[in-house]
Amino acid sequence: MRTLIISDIHANLVALETVLEHAGEVDAVWCLGDVVGYGPNPNECIELLKEQPNMVSIMGNHDAAAIDELELNTFNPEARRSIEWMREILKAESYEFLGSRPRQLVMEGVTLVHGSPRQPIYEYLLDTRAATENFEYFTTDFCFIGHTHLPVLFYMEPGDYLAGLTIPPIQQKTRLKPRAIINPGSVGQPRDRDPRAAYALFDTTEQTWHYKRVEYEITTTQERMQKAGLPERHILRLEGGW
């Protein structure tokens, strides 16, 4: 099954539309959370995501904050401002969608979480030590995560005492070996100094990971954010990928 893996859309409709077109026909779409937050089009992103084939989506921290399931004081002032704006414009059906998202799923033998298997909503997996500790918290061969906005693959083979780390090459297929924790990067707000939208294609039969990047019209999203009065820092960071 050819499955599109996306995460951290962050209400960036232009980026999401571009990724869906670039990926082509897929059998399923798995979203690893944070459909909303930061960006200017939360309702439209939810509506478009719901139209995708065999779509599943889990809850991210911004999704939880949007429906008041996460304290605003856990976010910096600019992020709080974006969340407060978002809460004002979310439609009832968008609120219902976000509220019904599970915090963890297992699909085709893969564990799906936003942050980490240990703390599905909150934890950032940024180093090999934290990743090593998290391998104890899932039993499947693979775990797909988001949250950091950084594409990375952590792996542990039998006998290893510390996880390894690699960044899958862009536009190349990588055959996955058990066990691994993998992040496809962010669709709507990359933070690896590459402003292009990030995503991956996962073949559930061959167990291959095809990591991809695609350019999108960043200025369109920035103009929409300006019109909505969203924080200038969030607008500027899109063009630098930070």
Share of residues in the chain with pLDDT > 70 (%) = 100
- Residues 81-96 pLDDT 10s: 999 999 999 999 999 9
Mean pLDDT across the stretch 69-89?
91
- 70 — pLDDT class (breaks 50, 70, 90): confident
DSSP assignment letter at 146 = -
CATH code for residues 2-240 = 3.60.21.10
- Residues 118-160 pLDDT 10s: 999 999 999 999 999 999 999 999 999 999 999 999 999 888 9
Per the CB < 8 A criterion, the answer to whether 132 and 116 are in contact is no
The domain locations on the chain are: 2-240
pLDDT value for 7: 98
Separation of alpha carbons 143 and 135, rounded Å: 9
Separation of alpha carbons 237 and 210, rounded Å: 26
On the 0-12 / 13-18 / 19+ scale of CB atoms within 10 A, 48 is middle
Per the CB < 8 A criterion, the answer to whether 87 and 94 are in contact is no
DSSP assignment letter at 168 = P
Separation of alpha carbons 93 and 117, rounded Å: 28
Q: Per-residue pLDDT for 239 more than 90? A: yes
Provide long-range contacts, Cβ within 8 A and 24+ apart, for 66-69.
Answer: 66/36, 66/37, 66/42, 66/90, 66/95, 66/98, 67/95, 67/98, 67/99, 69/99
Q: Per-residue pLDDT for 72 more than 90? A: no
DSSP assignment letter at 135 = G
pLDDT value for 43: 98
Separation of alpha carbons 192 and 213, rounded Å: 12
Tell me, letter by letter, the H, E, C secondary structure of 55-71.
EEECCCHHHHHHCCCCC
Start-to-end C-alpha separation, the chain: 33
Q: Per-residue pLDDT for 74 more than 90? A: no
- Residues 107-120 pLDDT 10s: 999 999 999 999 99
